[in-house]
Amino acid sequence: MTATIIDGKSVAAKVRWQCRERADELQARHGVVPGLAVLMVGDDPASAVYVRKKIQACADVGIQSHKFLFSRDEKQSVVIDKIRELSADPKIHGILVQLPLPKHFDLQEVLGAIDQEKDVDGFHLYNVGGLVVGGTVFPPCTPYGVMLMLDNSGVEIAGRNAVVVGASNIVGKPMALMLMNREATVSVCHAKTRDLAQFTILADILIVAAGCPNLITGPMVKSGAVVIDVGINRLPNGQLVGDCDFEAVSRRASKITPVPGGVGPMTVTMLLVNTISSAERSCADRSPAIAGAVGAALID
Ligand code: GUN
């Protein structure tokens, strides 16, 4: 078997086109420009690249971004005061604190200061809890993007065996919850899992987010599985690769995401979706906080 490629760039382009249309509609009907505040503490080079990509993507679809940079030894209270000010600002519909934060920050205190209705990363405990009980206002961007790619590729989820490799708060755990909310049978593996292959071989849908090149080899994958590689690793020779041995896994899987050009473009795209959805909600009646399970509604 040779896998079909799930092309994240083309799915992302479609969704961004819809974002542009929704932003234009908000402007035309309500005179509202969606606004995203991006806060970054310190000068981590990888974070700086991500922040630049997010800001460029905002400009492309008609979201007004506002960047706030703090030195790495800034006091936590100063950052929290800025978050509170932005939370009260009606021009701001989304607030994002780029992670990681310096060690002297208490992550939950910082995230907890974000108005839960502007928490476009979906990291506030309120939104995490929403996901646990079966829905959330702001699904976290990377797993939200993965769900959209699965739906857009016609992958059936209910009743399938899904295995998530990696249990981070940003990707693995919310990914498992979203798949569970769509009635998959979900196993979560992590750094301490013994004999990873005995789990991965059972997966109809295998999501890998471990940050470890070549972790998943061909024989670890069930024939015909759908494989989503969330890993982004830079090899010593400069090559960007995921967590799967792409060639070998492609020969077993029915569908696979490449790295680069798979999940990566979807993460920033779903941030745009969450920001525009928040701006739309601010124009409508501020009703129920908990929406339905993450579904396929975005793309036809
Ligand atoms: N750092 C790595 N991934 C993310 C993300 O999705 N959101 C934020 N805010 N920081 C990150």
Whether the predicted pLDDT of 290 surpasses 60 = no
Mean pLDDT of 252-272: 97
Confidence bin at 15 (pLDDT 50/70/90): very high
Confidence bin at 299 (pLDDT 50/70/90): low
Query: Best substitution site from 138, 170, 266, 268 to test ligand 1's pocket, by max atoms within 8 Å of Cβ?
Result: 170
232 is an annotated ligand-binding site residue: yes
Confidence (pLDDT) at 296: 43
113 is an annotated ligand-binding site residue: no
- CATH architecture of residue range(s) 141-256: 3-Layer(aba) Sandwich (3.40)
Domain limits of the chain? 30-124+268-287, 141-256
Whether the predicted pLDDT of 219 surpasses 50 = yes
> Could you tell me the distance, in angstroms and rounded to a whole number, from the CA of residue 28 to the centre of ligand 1?
31
* 141-256 has the same fold as 30-124+268-287: yes
Q: What's domain 30-124+268-287's superfamily in CATH?
A: Leucine Dehydrogenase, chain A, domain 1 (3.40.50.10860)
* 41 C-beta closer than 6 A to ligand 1: no
- 240 near 260, Cβ under 8 Å? yes
Confidence bin at 277 (pLDDT 50/70/90): very high
**Structure pTM?**
0.94
121 classed as catalytic? yes
Using H for helix, E for strand and C for coil, what is the string for the chain?
CCCEECCHHHHHHHHHHHHHHHHHHHHHHHCCCCEEEEEEECCCHHHHHHHHHHHHHHHHHCCEEEEEEECCCCCHHHHHHHHHHHHCCCCCCEEEECCCCCCCCCHHHHHHCCCHHHCCCCCCHHHHHHHHCCCCCCCCHHHHHHHHHHHHCCCCCCCCEEEEECCCCCCHHHHHHHHHHCCCEEEEECCCCCCHHHHHCCCCEEEECCCCCCCECHHHCCCCCEEEECCCEECCCCCEECCECHHHHHCCCCEECCCCCCCHHHHHHHHHHHHHHHHHHHHCCCCCCCCCCCCCCCCC
> Could you tell me the distance, in angstroms and rounded to a whole number, from the CA of residue 130 to the centre of ligand 1?
19
9 classed as catalytic? no
